[in-house]
Copies of this chain bind each other. A is one copy, B any other.
Amino acid sequence: MKPLRIGLAGLGTVGVGVIRLLRENAETITARAGRPIEVVAVTARSKSKDRGVDLSATRWHDDAVSVAQDPEIDVVVELIGGSEGPARDMVETALTRGLPVVTANKALVALHGSALTRLSAENNAPLLFEAAVAGGIPAIKLVREGLAADRLHSVGGILNGTCNYILTEMRTTGRDFGDVLTEAQAKGYAEAEPSTDVDGWDTAHKLAILAGIAFQPIAFDTLPVHGIRDVTAADLTFANELGYRIKLLGMARASKDSGIEAWVRPCLVPAKAAIAAVEGVFNAVTTQGPFSGPITISGRGAGEGPTASAVVADLIDLARGADLPVWGVRNTPAPVACTSLGELKSAFYIRLDVEDRSGVMADLTSVLRDHDVSVHFVSQHDAAAGRAYLALVTHQAPEKAISAAITALSALPVVKGAPLVLKIEDSLQ
């Protein structure tokens, strides 16, 4: 049977993994896809670099757009990365030609999803991106197909392995953020420029994609994003004592007024929740629906093997004739703004660094009371000489009340340094 001919751009870890996987499992993949899948054209930054795979029978192109213009390919695989430049040019060129595209590029889909969706629909060219979210975990297929019957209440989870590794290490070793980050960089778990991961942007890109499939596309610039730099080893200890773990979560919920509540931030999750047991570089996606109930899937969120597995699964879907609209529905609505967090009620964890003298706890809790924030639990812990940590858990309160209270607390002379406020995400099972 005629092979499905792939033009691939980007021969980093994932690109090489895709070629290796297609060759190693060729027989199985042919049986499942109904036809062979072969990479026939490639491009990358360096033609001469030895990548450990034989490319002598593969056409070389000098740039990504020219791969997308190759008349002898059936599908484009984009593994360059980045929301602009050659990645975007290549995908747009391919879709315009009516060629199906498979990409692992979360930033591209999160930021330019609407324009690409239009191109995909106009030219009847599928755009698949299973590898863009949670690596080897088929999270997109889960939501777009496996749970297509249900109108989910929520979708999200632990979407960045670097942050989860750092938080796990901080908790189990008691070391602080900077220390663990440096080690993660040395081990290759974190980039030299770690901002995309630790400031939450990678999680935000993935969450925007999940929300787009579960609900409708969201305007990325309205998504509140907060990373893990402010979380200290002390916070992880206090959370532990309270029966919680701290996880960087990206969550999206259908709110009552038919808007979408979405955010990325470190949260306290119950130690008993399925997601709390997801440690190290693992990712997890969790959904909650009126019919399907709670579902959690966990696995490796990055790396050569898992990401290649997701890219090739998309290729097999295409070979099998899959032809789904980008977000699972024809006539995708325009992106909506995320609802403002101010009115949303939640319990919160607040950690304050204060002068260690009598009456401080009473002073601080009275400020909270003045802002209608009622305290469920407070504990005091030794810090540096003459200083103490207060770890508070509030009852449910609107987030804007918490923000106002924190501003007032920060202005008090007894409060040293910036308070840390983390949402308590009690509803996860």
Which A residues contact B (CB, under 8 angstroms)?
Answer: 17, 21, 25, 28-29, 31-34, 130, 136-138, 141-142, 145-151, 274, 277-278, 289-300, 303, 305-306, 308-313, 315-317, 320-321, 323-324, 328-331
Contact = CB atoms under 8 A, between A and B. Distances in A.
A225 B363 CA distance: 65
Contacts of A328: 32
A59 to B, nearest CB: 23
A123 B287 CA distance: 37
Contacts of A147: 138, 309, 313
A185 to B, nearest CB: 23
A292 B321 contact: no
Nearest to A295: B299
B300 A297 contact: no
A12 B138 CA distance: 32
B293 A295 contact: no
A306 B331 CA distance: 28
B295 A28 contact: no
Contacts of A148: 29, 32-33, 312-313, 316-317
Nearest to A25: B151
A227 B158 CA distance: 36
A291 B320 contact: no
A136 B289 CA distance: 10
18 contacts: A25-B291, A28-B151, A29-B149, A32-B328, A33-B148, A136-B293, A138-B142, A145-B316, A146-B313, A147-B313, A148-B312, A274-B277, A277-B277, A291-B309, A294-B299, A294-B300, A295-B300, A296-B297
Given A292-B305, A295-B136, A300-B294, A149 B25 contact: yes
A320 B145 CA distance: 10
Contacts of A315: 149
Contacts of A308: 149, 291
B31 A330 contact: yes
A324 B310 CA distance: 19
A309 B142 contact: no
A103 B309 CA distance: 29
Nearest to A287: B299
A34 B330 contact: yes
Contact of A306 (B28, B142, B292, B296): B292
